[in-house]
Amino acid sequence: MTFDIDMIREVYNRYPERVAAAREAVGKPLTLAEKILYTHLWEGNASEAFGRGTSYVDFAPDRVAMQDATAQMALLQFMQAGKDKVAVPSTAHADHLIQARIGADKDLQEGINKNNEVFNFLSSVCNKYGIGFWKPGAGIIHQVVLENYAFPGGMMIGTDSHTVNAGGLGMVAIGVGGADAVDVMAGMPWELKFPKLIGVKLTGRLNGWTAPKDVILKVAGILTVKGGTGAIVEYFGEGAESMSATGKGTICNMGAEIGATTSTFGYDDSMRRYLAATGRKDVVDAADKVAEHLTGDAEVYANPEQYFDQVIEINLDELTPHLNGPFTPDLATPVAEMKKKAAANDWPTDIEWALIGSCTNSSYEDLTRAASIVADAVEKGIAPKAILGINPGSEQVRYTAERDGLMDTFNKLEGTRIFTNACGPCIGQWAREGAEKQEKNSIVHSFNRNFAKRADGNPNTHAFVTSPEMVAAIAISGKLDFNPVTDTLTNANGDEVMLAEPTGHELPSAGFAVEDNGYQAPAEDGSGINVVVASDSQRLQLLAPFTPWDGKNIDGAKLLIKALGKCTTDHISMAGPWLRYRGHLDNISNNCLIGAVNAYTEATNAVTNQLDGSVDEVPNVARAYKAADVPTIVVGDHNYGEGSSREHAAMEPRHLGVRAVIVKSFARIHETNLKKQGMLGLTFDNEADYDLILADDTFNFTDLADFAPGKQLNLEVVHADGSTDNIKLNHTYNAQQIDWFKAGSALNLITMQNNA
Ligand code: MIC
Ligand code: SF4
């Protein structure tokens, strides 16, 4: 059965007319990304061409997905919006809160016991408001979406930055903060700055040890963590068509790591095969009727330079396996060069743990390719030097893999641990023994992110991202710099042997199977369902609206922290142990900016309270300013807020009295999250002004009354010696976003409009 097939057919019915209107408005052949964007305009048929990177446009996404760690806040906000039911098909997925420790069954039970209150809350809110709920153990949101909901040419948003994974089935799927999801679920338009377009032409064909993961590891090396900001990446060419849909998903998934708004691929046979194998032949039939519209125009792919803002070409025949890291996903090293580079940088090369999983690489194909390496090693009598840990992407993948003997194969390798179908170590839900000793070490994994502390909480763990087949090879060799193309291993007989190249199955030859997929359909009529949040709960807290702007300039503000260098959402609102407070704003605010590096001392979680000169943890100092009614600001470097979609990174500072975040540049989702929560997210007009800001400065906004689109704001910086600097701040607020600021938050505005 296909979920929401009628909605999908309707989308396709509109396609020919809407694409024709877009073609006329734009006046030239269209990329796939443009077709999807223009067929999802809130206004209906396009009547004008939008400026890439400049126009704010209202869209009407087809669906919404949320995961447990962000859904709590999204749904707490939705409950305030005063609606009976969600306006578009929506789902929530319990995947982030389950820890990997012993193995699947025990960990899942423990996860349920520990998070019962939150799961019950999610299950009842979903039931009440018409939202599908995927229970703990059902799988990772993005794999479940790919298997059940994604469809070529569709548009969705999701409260998780890796929502972009659905580009593997030709969607425009975009990660957003919960407040954006609330707009769409409440039946309102969703606004996005019309993206720029990057074209990636793939020639040749993957071979040997090279996997789809290497395409995105290579692209990340070229574009860096900022290079995709504000852009949709569209892949095309024979190389694209020769890859599986889940392989395409891997590539789109990690587009989040280059800051891309999303990534996508044109509709092709790999998608037909995947849709059919996952029980959605009806989607294939419907898509085939409009197939010409579900890919870019031939002229575009023939002369990409004329249609994309930037074009990259990668020859898959020549692409080699890569390892990206440590600490940042764009530091790309070809496996063949790792020996030299690891030595030069003093990266530990002994590996104790190698992990396969996450929404990036946990498909059936991924498991078969990794299993082929494991089977080869077992057959050749090579004992593994590291522990291999595996989190399957979904119950459907796990069940099928088990039926097809893949789990047996993995289990034949000494020490292998199969964890729950969940995020697990990818988001710090990993009780890694000994991590508390904080020893310098390296791990490899097939995930997407490798920021400091992310997997095991140890700041000295050097994490490298690579393909599942390379993870398996490195688990067996125990060496980060092992190159399976050239290096040998010693087996039990003392012979020098080589690992065979990976082989795999794109799809299970006997079809996918599952006994209980873990889905809970919502009640037809949810009006009688009562959602309870205990007033003394430590995990959940009903939200109180943020205070509206008082119409005055912000005066006498103090600096909470000036962050140095990389300040991702993991630095602003850490995950791991803090995931337990994702539904309780006051409690989770105790992690606010604790990972950010203080620019004056290079210490983390230690800032000076200018009211009494004491040095304390960031959240404590923020609370002290708040209690004294002193507004605060945060200053940051480039790409501030990179990484996750978690709006906690905006709500916590807001809750603790921070009024403005002033940085050299922002990551897209975080900038929007700040705006939505009624904060000032501003950038230095002159980046060098970052250096002017001193720890004991006082800040006065002098022209907030004139806050208007396209107009700079002035900030008076009063230094302790009485001297002043006036600095110019840029912003990207449009008129509506300024209204959010004035109302105190976007949600306040919706509620006001509902009550009007
Ligand atoms: C992540 O990969 O960082 C997460 C956890 O999936 C986040 C969402 C979150 O913080 O809950 C994301 O990428 O958006
Ligand atoms: Fe989960 Fe990791 Fe994927 Fe985020 S990146 S959704 S934590 S598996």
Q: Ligand 1 centroid to 457 CA: how many Å?
A: 16
CB 684 within 8 A of CB 663: yes
Options 4, 62, 95, 214, the catalytic residue: 95
376 in contact with ligand 1, CB cutoff 6 A: no
69 in contact with ligand 1, CB cutoff 6 A: yes
Which pLDDT belongs to residue 755?
77
The token pair at 697 is 């400065």
Q: Is residue 9 among the annotated active site residues?
A: no
Helix (H/G/I), strand (E/B), else coil: 149: coil
Measured by CA distance, the residue closest to atom 2 of ligand 2 is 426
Q: Is residue 449 among the annotated active site residues?
A: yes
Helix (H/G/I), strand (E/B), else coil: 163: helix
Q: How far separated are the first and last CA of the chain, in Å rounded? A: 42
Nearest ligand 1 atom to the CA of 160 is: 14
- pLDDT per 10-residue tile (average), the chain, 756 residues: 96 98 98 98 98 97 98 96 94 95 93 96 98 97 98 98 98 97 96 97 98 98 95 98 98 97 98 98 98 98 98 98 98 98 98 98 98 98 97 96 98 96 94 96 98 94 98 98 98 98 97 97 96 95 96 98 97 94 98 98 98 98 98 98 96 98 97 98 98 98 98 98 98 97 95 80
Cα–Cα distance for residue pair 628/48, rounded to 1 Å? 51
Q: Ligand 2 centroid to 15 CA: how many Å?
A: 32
Options 96, 417, 670, 731, the catalytic residue: 96
Cα–Cα distance for residue pair 360/449, rounded to 1 Å? 10
Q: 491: which DSSP letter?
A: -
CB 394 within 8 A of CB 359: no
From 66, 68, 70, the mutation candidate for ligand 1 (largest count of ligand atoms within 8 A of CB) is 70
Q: What is the dihedral of CA 1, 268, 173, 257, to 10 degrees?
A: 130
Ligand 2 interacting residues, C-beta cut-off 6 A? 96, 140-142, 160, 162, 358-359, 423, 426-427, 447-448
In this structure, how many other beta carbons lie within 10 angstroms of the beta carbon of residue 53? 14
From 142, 164, 390, the mutation candidate for ligand 2 (largest count of ligand atoms within 8 A of CB) is 142
Reference 93, options 47, 146, 46; nearest CA is 146
CB 526 within 8 A of CB 664: no
Which pLDDT belongs to residue 155?
98
Backbone phi and psi for residue 666, each to the nearest 5 degrees, phi listed first: -115, 155
Nearest ligand 1 atom to the CA of 669 is: 14
97 in contact with ligand 1, CB cutoff 6 A: no
Q: Ligand 2 centroid to 162 CA: how many Å?
A: 7
Q: Ligand 1 centroid to 90 CA: how many Å?
A: 18
Nearest ligand 1 atom to the CA of 645 is: 14
Burial 577-600 (b: 16+ CB within 10 A, else e): ebbbbbbbbebbbbbbbbbbbbbb
Cα–Cα distance for residue pair 730/671, rounded to 1 Å? 13
Report which bound ligand comes closest to the CA of 421.
Answer: 2
From 67, 174, 362, 451, the mutation candidate for ligand 1 (largest count of ligand atoms within 8 A of CB) is 67
Q: Is residue 454 among the annotated active site residues?
A: no
Options 432, 449, 539, 659, the catalytic residue: 449
Which pLDDT belongs to residue 754?
78
CB 653 within 8 A of CB 592: yes
Report which bound ligand comes closest to the CA of 73.
Answer: 1
Q: Is residue 481 among the annotated active site residues?
A: no
646 in contact with ligand 1, CB cutoff 6 A: yes
- Polymer length of the chain: 756
From 447, 465, 568, the mutation candidate for ligand 2 (largest count of ligand atoms within 8 A of CB) is 447
Q: Ligand 2 centroid to 141 CA: how many Å?
A: 8
CB 696 within 8 A of CB 722: no
Q: Is residue 654 among the annotated active site residues?
A: no
In this structure, how many other beta carbons lie within 10 angstroms of the beta carbon of residue 408? 12
Reference 149, options 130, 126, 132; nearest CA is 132
Backbone phi and psi for residue 394, each to the nearest 5 degrees, phi listed first: -155, 165
Reference 34, options 313, 260, 267, 296; nearest CA is 296
List, in sequence order, every beta strand (DSSP E) within 185-284: 190-193, 196-203, 231-236, 262-265
pTM: 0.95
Helix (H/G/I), strand (E/B), else coil: 573: strand
Cα–Cα distance for residue pair 607/626, rounded to 1 Å? 15
Q: Which distant-in-sequence residues (6+ apart) come within 8 Å of 715 by Cβ?
A: 662, 699, 700, 701, 702, 726, 727, 728, 729
Q: Ligand 2 centroid to 67 CA: how many Å?
A: 9
Q: Which distant-in-sequence residues (6+ apart) come within 8 Å of 740 by Cβ?
A: 675, 676, 678, 746, 748, 749
Report which bound ligand comes closest to the CA of 425.
Answer: 2
Cα–Cα distance for residue pair 171/152, rounded to 1 Å? 5
Nearest ligand 1 atom to the CA of 69 is: 11
Cα–Cα distance for residue pair 578/428, rounded to 1 Å? 10
Q: 201: which DSSP letter?
A: E
Q: Which contiguous run of DSSP H or E holds residue 661?
A: strand 658-663
Residue in the structure block whose two tokens are 């065979």: 500
Q: How many helices (H) and strands (E) does the chain have?
A: 24, 30
Options 358, 362, 644, 645, the catalytic residue: 644
Measured by CA distance, the residue closest to atom 7 of ligand 2 is 427
Measured by CA distance, the residue closest to atom 8 of ligand 2 is 358
Report which bound ligand comes closest to the CA of 93.
Answer: 2
Which pLDDT belongs to residue 752?
86
Q: 91: which DSSP letter?
A: E
Helix (H/G/I), strand (E/B), else coil: 90: strand
72 in contact with ligand 1, CB cutoff 6 A: no
Q: Ligand 2 centroid to 142 CA: how many Å?
A: 8
Q: Ligand 2 centroid to 120 CA: how many Å?
A: 22
Q: Is residue 214 among the annotated active site residues?
A: no
Reference 420, options 112, 114, 648; nearest CA is 112
Q: Ligand 1 centroid to 644 CA: how many Å?
A: 5
Q: Ligand 2 centroid to 417 CA: how many Å?
A: 19
The token pair at 34 is 């443009």
